[in-house]
Amino acid sequence: MKKLFFLTALCGTLSFLHAQSVPRFVYAEIVGESRFLSNKVTVSIDYGQATSFFENTKVRNEDGSNRKFNSMVDAMNYMGALGWEFQQAYVVTTSQQNVYHWLMRKNFTDLPGDIQEEMKKNFPTKKDL
């Protein structure tokens, strides 16, 4: 009788459990490249978006021109103002040029609803299928 009660209680408890259906955080990578004969950096942001070969991910101004940052810290302050948090940084040197990679994160719940829905489409769970 005790075993039957225990199994019934266990099954009842397990029926309420389900896997997390949304990520806790979303991540973005800021990639900064030094500009030729300049002390400014050109920044692109990768947050997992689909891009084509001819499309770039450089940060743009309202008029469509490339946004120029004074430094990677300037780019991080820009992202920080948008609610992103710094996580990690590393540098890759190619052809005597440094390429700076800074990883940022943001709480999923801080994103606008339409972006949350778009991201959920990219990460379907068994519940969604």
8-state DSSP, 120: H
Q: What is the pLDDT of residue 26?
A: 81
Place of tokens 């606008």: 112
Tokens 């309202």: give the residue.
62
**What pLDDT score does 84 carry?**
87
Q: How many helices (H) and strands (E) does the chain have?
A: 3, 5
Residue 91 is encoded by which pair of tokens? 């540098």
Domain boundaries, the chain: 23-122
pLDDT mean for each 10 residues of the chain (129 residues): 64 57 78 80 77 68 81 88 90 86 85 72 53
Phi, psi dihedrals of residue 117, rounded to the nearest 5°: -65, -40
pTM of the model: 0.63
> Alpha-carbon distance 105 to 107, whole Å?
7
Query: How much is the pLDDT for 50?
Result: 65
Nearest alpha-carbon partner for 32 in 83, 70, 60: 70
Backbone angles phi, psi at 30, to 5 degrees: -95, 125
Q: How far is Cα 84 from Cα 88, in angstroms, rounded to an integer?
A: 12
